[in-house]
Amino acid sequence: MSYFLKKAKIKNRTYLAIYDSFFSSEKKHPVNKCASSLFSVEPNYKRHYLHSV
pLDDT digits (tens, 9 = 90+) for 10-21: 888 888 899 999
Total tally of structural domains belonging to the chain: 1
Asked if residues 15 and 39 have their Cβ atoms less than 8 Å apart, the reply is yes
Confidence of residue 37 (pLDDT cuts 50, 70, 90): confident
Intra-chain end-to-end CA distance of the chain, in Å: 50
pTM of the model: 0.62
Given a cut of 60, whether residue 48 has pLDDT beyond it is no
Could you list the residue range(s) of the whole structural domain that residue 11 is in? Answer: 2-52
Confidence of residue 44 (pLDDT cuts 50, 70, 90): low
User: CA 19 to CA 16: how far, in whole Å?
Assistant: 10
Asked if residues 4 and 17 have their Cβ atoms less than 8 Å apart, the reply is no
User: CA 48 to CA 45: how far, in whole Å?
Assistant: 5
Q: How many helices (H) and strands (E) does the chain have?
A: 1, 3
